[in-house]
Structure 1
């Protein structure tokens, strides 16, 4: 399978004045928190407790040794295994490449509970 074309929103990603080292990846989780819809269309509020759950984020910057993701990719990560950093009043997640669980192959219209990699 090939990599999906980058979504048009990649141009809108903020330029981060940080040069990452090694296999570090900087993720933006903006717009990821909040209400979700189940596969059947039921709205799940942000306050609903679902137990351990992986989350989606967008890659904003990558270090020189990162091999499998590029800026603009949507990746699957564990929100419990993360370090948060604030850059220019925005909060980002800093991870190593090995801490990612998957990369979205194609944009989906609904990232509800039915998409598993």
Structure 2
């Protein structure tokens, strides 16, 4: 059976160890402020974290499942292209937060 290159769930790879493969949300170019002002990609800003969607996880990942939104530092990333789409490969310890329906509000999380 061949993999369908248009869906993330059929990526032809198996992640190892504590690796997480994510797809970035939105464009990395210019952004808009809450007031609607366009901020060009070349504007100097402080260190900014980015949200992405997990599309694959390795067997030793404990806190993230496929489909979770994760917060990470875009400066510390490894990029890979699969079937013409760009993805980012992270280690679980490089993820700062997880946003998912299954996350409990009263828990402190795995890492403090």
Please tell me whether Structure 1 or Structure 2 has the larger radius of gyration of its CA atoms.
2
* TM-score normalised according to structure 2 size: 0.71
Q: Quick one: which of 79, 93, 108 aligns to 1:84?
A: 79
Give every structure 1 segment of 4 or more consecutive aligned residues whose post-TM-superposition deviation is greater than 4 Å.
none
Structure 1 residue aligned with 2:52:
57
Higher relative contact order (CA 8 A, sep 6+): 1
For the aligned residue pairs, the C-alpha RMSD in angstroms reads: 2.1
* TM-score normalised according to structure 1 size: 0.68
Structure 2 residue aligned with 1:8:
none
Report how many aligned residue pairs link the two structures. 95
Q: Is the 8 A contact 1:32 1:56 kept in 2?
A: no
Q: Is the 8 A contact 2:25 2:51 kept in 1?
A: no
Which stretches in structure 1 are left out of the alignment for 5+ residues? 1-11, 107-117
